[in-house]
């Protein structure tokens, strides 16, 4: 295998890890309350701007930026839950879709108004440059995002399957009324779910900002991939999103390299549709 091909695959894996990290918050919200958060991409965008502001104000990298982004986004998640989601969940499906979509536009244009339309960027070496491993270039910032994606996925999985809090959250997701009879408060569980999902999104944003440009519409550019990742992985399955993200990353990179960059989306989306034809619940989703 030529070294270029190895580089293509490594690049694809790192890209896929980012997709997975990007998507984990989205899949969590779906798993918890059967709501698709169309504002998800814009949550990531906010995380990116938090990282940028932290860097401009204090000159600090994602080590400070990411935790702050978690706090800011988690708070926002709770506010969004009590201010919007709780009421629209009672409405028809369409209200839920349009509600989060409206939230997306609100966030996007608020940032647009405050920061302007300029493309922003963090300095290239904010996470320690690029490693050269036997001629294969591995960008530290992408590697960090990849490692964090693994940790976050593992963490969320453990939280949901091995802890009391996770069991309570899943109980609410399964049957809110029954959970209530068992003494679990669905409201607080769902607010916690939103806080965790939004917080994870904040980490994703802060890390993606270290190697991607920052602009109010960036959530739109990256958002479509998130939806594909989540449905390929299986709605609600956090490990599924990781596997799906890596798969999409590698397929994208290889098809761009072999067939041409302009065709890569055709390859990815046709494989995606074929897959859904045979397994509509996704890789690890429940049928």
Partner 1 sequence: MRFKRVLRLLCAASMSVALVGAASAQDKTVKIGAVFPLSGNAASAGIHAKFAIETALDIINNPHPEFGNFPLANNAGLAGLGGAKVEVVFADNQGSPATGQNQALRLITEEKVVALTGSYQSGITLTASAIAEKYGIPFVNGESVAANLTERGFKWFFRVTPVATDFARIYFDFLKEMKAAGVKTDNVALVHDNTEYGTSVASVITSVFKENGQSIALDIPYAVNATDVQSQILQLKEKQPDVVIMIAYASDAILYQKTMQSLDYKPPMMIADDSGFSDPSFIKAVGKISQGVFNRSSWNVGPAGSPTAIIADMYKKRSGDEMDDTAGRQMQAFFVLCEAIDRAGSTDPAKIQAALKATDLKPDQLMMGYKGVKFDDKGQNILASGLIIQLQDGENYVAVWPKANAEKDPVLPYKGW
Minimum distance from CB of 232 to partner 1 (Å)? 16
Query: Site for partner 1 (CB under 8 A): which residue of 63, 93, 117, 165?
Result: 117
Nearer to partner 1, 142 or 168 (CB): 142
**What is the closest distance, in whole angstroms, from the C-beta atom of residue 241 to partner 1 in the complex?**
16
Nearer to partner 1, 9 or 159 (CB): 9
What's the closest the beta carbon of residue 102 comes to partner 1, in angstroms? 16
130 interacts with partner 1 by CB under 8 A: yes
CB of residue 15 to partner 1, shortest distance in Å? 5
Residue 110 in the binding site for partner 1 (CB under 8 A): no
Residue number, 187 or 220, with CB nearest to partner 1: 220
Is 104 near partner 1 (CB under 8 A)? no
Could you say whether residue 93 binds partner 1 (CB under 8 A)? no
Note whether 102 binds partner 1 by CB under 8 A: no
> Which residues on neighbouring strands pair with residue 130, listed in sequence order?
139
Size of interface with partner 1, in residues (CB under 8 A): 40
Residues 13-32 that bind partner 1 (CB under 8 A): 15
Alpha helices in 176-237 (DSSP H): 176-181, 186-208, 218-233
Classify 80 in phi/psi space as left (phi over 0), alpha (psi -120 to 50) or beta.
Answer: alpha
By the rule CB under 8 A, 49 interacts with partner 1: no
- Applying CB under 8 A, the span of 27-35, 43-51, 108-116, 189-197 interacting with partner 1 comes to 108-116
Smallest distance, partner 1 to C-beta of residue 93, A:
27
What Rg value do the Cα atoms of the chain yield, rounded? 19
Report 219-248 residues binding partner 1 (CB under 8 A).
220-222, 225
**Among residues 46 and 191, whose Cβ is nearest to partner 1?**
46
| 3-class SS letters over the chain | CCHHHHHHHHHHHHHHHHHHHHHHHHHHHHHHHCCCCCCHHHHHHHHHHHHHHHHHHHCCCHHHHHHHHHHHHHHHHHHHHHHHHHHHCCCCHHHHHHHHHHHHHHHHHHHHHHHCCCCECCCCCCCCCEEEECCEEEEHHHHHHHHHHHHHHHHHHHHHHHCHHHHHHHHHHHCHHHHHHCCCCHHHHHHHHHHHHHHHHHHHHHHHCCCCCECCCHHHHHHHHHHHHHHHHCCCCHHHHHHHHHHHHHHHHHHHHHCCHHHHHHHHHHHHHHHHHHCCCCCCCCC
**Contact set with partner 1 (CB under 8 A):** 4, 7-8, 11-12, 15, 109, 112, 116-121, 124, 130, 132, 137, 139, 142, 211-213, 215-217, 220-222, 225, 249, 252-253, 256-257, 260-262, 264-265
């Amino acid at each position: 295998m030529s070294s270029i091909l190895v580089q293509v695959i490594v690049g694809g894996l790192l890209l896929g890890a980012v997709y997975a990290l990007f998507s984990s918050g989205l899949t969590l919200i779906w798993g918890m309350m059967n709501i698709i958060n169309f504002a998800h991409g814009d949550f990531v965008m906010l995380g990116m701007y938090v990282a940028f502001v932290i860097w401009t104000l204090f000159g600090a990298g994602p080590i400070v930026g990411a935790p702050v982004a978690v706090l800011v986004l988690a708070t926002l998640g709770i506010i969004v839950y009590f201010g919007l989601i709780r009421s629209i969940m009672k409405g028809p499906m369409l209200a839920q879709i349009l509600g989060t979509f409206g939230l997306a536009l609100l966030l996007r244009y608020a940032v647009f108004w405050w920061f302007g339309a300029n493309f922003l960027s963090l300095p290239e070496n904010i996470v320690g440059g690029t490693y050269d491993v036997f001629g294969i270039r591995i960008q530290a910032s992408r590697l960090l995002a990849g490692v964090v994606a693994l940790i976050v996925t593992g963490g969320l999985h453990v939280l949901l399957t091995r802890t009391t809090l996770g069991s309570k959250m899943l109980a609410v997701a399964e049957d809110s009324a029954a959970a209530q009879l068992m003494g679990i408060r669905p409201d607080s569980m769902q607010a916690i779910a939103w806080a965790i999902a939004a917080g994870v999104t904040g980490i994703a944003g802060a890390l993606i900002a270290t190697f991607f440009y920052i602009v109010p519409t960036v959530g739109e550019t990256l958002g479509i991939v998130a939806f594909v990742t989540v449905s390929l992985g299986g709605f609600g399955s956090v490990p599924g999103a990781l596997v799906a993200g890596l798969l999409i990353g590698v397929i994208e990179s290889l098809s761009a390299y072999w067939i041409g960059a302009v065709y890569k989306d055709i390859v990815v989306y046709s494989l995606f549709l074929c897959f859904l034809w045979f397994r509509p619940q996704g890789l690890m989703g429940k049928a």
